[in-house]
Amino acid sequence: MDASGLVDLKIVNGTVLTMAPGAEILDKGTVTVHQGVIRDVTSRAEDLPARKVIDAQGNLVMPGLINTHTHVPMSCFRGLSDDLPLMDWLEKHIFPAESLFVNADLAYWGSMLSCLEMMLSGTTTFADGYFFEEQVAKAVLDSGLRAVVCQGVIDFPAPGVPDPTENVHRAAQLMREWGTRDPRLRCGVFAHSTYTCSPETLRRAKAEADEFDSLLFIHLSETRDETKQIEERFGCTPVRHLEKLGIMDRRTVGVHCVWLTDQDMDLIARNEMGVSYTPESEMKLASGVAPIPELIRRGVAVSLGTDGPASNNDLDLFSEMDVSAKLQKVHNLDPTCASARETVRMATLDGARVLGMEDEVGSLEPGKRADLIIVDLDKPHLTPIYDYYSHLVYAVKGSDVDTVIVDGKILVEDRRVLALDCAEIMDHVRRIGDRIRRHRHV
Amino acid sequence: MDASGLVDLKIVNGTVLTMAPGAEILDKGTVTVHQGVIRDVTSRAEDLPARKVIDAQGNLVMPGLINTHTHVPMSCFRGLSDDLPLMDWLEKHIFPAESLFVNADLAYWGSMLSCLEMMLSGTTTFADGYFFEEQVAKAVLDSGLRAVVCQGVIDFPAPGVPDPTENVHRAAQLMREWGTRDPRLRCGVFAHSTYTCSPETLRRAKAEADEFDSLLFIHLSETRDETKQIEERFGCTPVRHLEKLGIMDRRTVGVHCVWLTDQDMDLIARNEMGVSYTPESEMKLASGVAPIPELIRRGVAVSLGTDGPASNNDLDLFSEMDVSAKLQKVHNLDPTCASARETVRMATLDGARVLGMEDEVGSLEPGKRADLIIVDLDKPHLTPIYDYYSHLVYAVKGSDVDTVIVDGKILVEDRRVLALDCAEIMDHVRRIGDRIRRHRHV
Q: What is the mean pLDDT of residues B130-142?
A: 98
Chain B residue with Cα closest to A433: B384
Q: What is the mean pLDDT of residues B191-206?
A: 98
pLDDT of residue A442: 46
Select from A120, A292, A394 the residue whose CB has the most chain B CBs within 10 Å, as the one to mutate to test that interface. A394
Q: Identify all chain A residues contacting B338, using CB atoms and an 8 Å cutoff.
A: 83
Prediction pTM value = 0.97
Is residue B2 pLDDT above 70, yes or no? no
- CB-CB under 8 Å, B83 with A340: yes
Interface ipTM: 0.96
pLDDT of residue A85: 79
Q: Identify all chain B residues contacting A289, using CB atoms and an 8 Å cutoff.
A: 330
Same domain, B256 and B380: no
Write out the residue range of the structural domain in which residue A130 sits.
Answer: 65-354
Is residue A172 pLDDT above 60, yes or no? yes
pLDDT of residue B442: 46
- Convert the pLDDT of each residue in A118-161 to its tens digit: 999 999 999 999 999 999 999 999 999 999 999 999 999 999 99
Percent over 90 (pLDDT), chain A? 91
Same domain, B34 and B155: no
- CB-CB under 8 Å, B121 with A381: yes
Q: Average model confidence (pLDDT) for chain B? A: 96
Domain assignment present for residue A420? The answer is no
Of A82, A325, A383, nearest to B429 by CB-CB distance is: A383
Chain B residue with Cα closest to A113: B380
Same domain, A124 and A40: no
Phi, psi (rounded to 5 degrees) for B401:
-75, 125
Q: What is the mean pLDDT of residues B22-29?
A: 87
Give how far A280 is from chain B: nearest CA, Å: 7
Q: Find the CATH number of the domain harbouring A27.
A: 2.30.40.10
Q: Identify all chain B residues contacting A334, using CB atoms and an 8 Å cutoff.
A: 286
Is residue A91 pLDDT above 90, yes or no? no
Alpha carbons within 13 angstroms on the beta-carbon side of residue A52 total: 12
pLDDT of residue B357: 98
* Rounded CA separation A360/A66 (Å): 12
Q: Identify all chain A residues contacting B340, using CB atoms and an 8 Å cutoff.
A: 82-83
Give how far A438 is from chain B: nearest CA, Å: 11
pLDDT of residue B93: 87
- CB-CB under 8 Å, B330 with A286: yes
Q: Identify all chain A residues contacting B326, using CB atoms and an 8 Å cutoff.
A: 280, 283-284, 323
Total domains in chain B come to 2
pLDDT of residue B24: 79
pLDDT of residue B441: 55
Q: Identify all chain B residues contacting A78, using CB atoms and an 8 Å cutoff.
A: 384, 386, 395
Consecutive H or E run containing A75: none
Same domain, B240 and B159: yes
* Rounded CA separation A390/B81 (Å): 8
Return the number of CB contacts < 8 Å for A and B: 214
Q: What is the mean pLDDT of residues A272-300?
A: 97
3-state SS class at A145: coil
B5 or B302, greater pLDDT: B302
- Residue A306: pLDDT band with limits 50, 70, 90: very high
Same domain, A103 and A84: yes
- Convert the pLDDT of each residue in B217-239 to its tens digit: 999 999 999 999 999 999 999 99
Q: What is the mean pLDDT of residues A380-404?
A: 97
Domain assignment present for residue A430? The answer is no
* Rounded CA separation B312/B82 (Å): 10
In sequence order, the 6+-apart residues with CB closer than 8 A to the CB of A294 are A265
Same domain, B306 and B350: yes
- Which residue from A321, A317, A301 is spatially nearest to A309, judged by alpha carbons? A317
Q: What is the mean pLDDT of residues B20-41?
A: 93
pLDDT of residue B196: 96
Same domain, B55 and B71: no
Same domain, B28 and B69: no
Is residue B53 pLDDT above 80, yes or no? yes
Same domain, A218 and A270: yes
Exposed / middle / buried, residue B435 (Cβ in 10 Å: 0-12, 13-18, 19+): middle
- CB-CB under 8 Å, A332 with B286: yes
Domain assignment present for residue A2? The answer is no
* Rounded CA separation A10/A18 (Å): 15
- Convert the pLDDT of each residue in A11-65 to its tens digit: 999 999 999 988 679 999 999 999 999 999 999 876 789 999 999 999 999 999 9
Give how far A147 is from chain B: nearest CA, Å: 19
Domain assignment present for residue B422? The answer is no
Is residue A1 pLDDT above 70, yes or no? no
- CB-CB under 8 Å, A386 with B436: yes
- CB-CB under 8 Å, B399 with A397: yes
- CB-CB under 8 Å, B286 with A329: yes
Domain assignment present for residue A425? The answer is no
Cβ atoms B187, B212 nearer than 8 A? yes
Is residue A324 pLDDT above 70, yes or no? yes
Give how far B401 is from chain A: nearest CA, Å: 12
- CB-CB under 8 Å, A429 with B383: yes
Q: Identify all chain B residues contacting A390, using CB atoms and an 8 Å cutoff.
A: 79, 82, 313
Cβ atoms A404, A122 nearer than 8 A? yes
Same domain, A305 and A156: yes
Same domain, B339 and B306: yes
Same domain, A229 and A174: yes
- Convert the pLDDT of each residue in A242-254 to its tens digit: 999 999 999 999 9
Q: Find the CATH number of the domain harbouring A150.
A: 3.20.20.140
pLDDT of residue A2: 63
Is residue A86 pLDDT above 80, yes or no? no
Give the end of a domain, one of B302, B326, B354.
B354
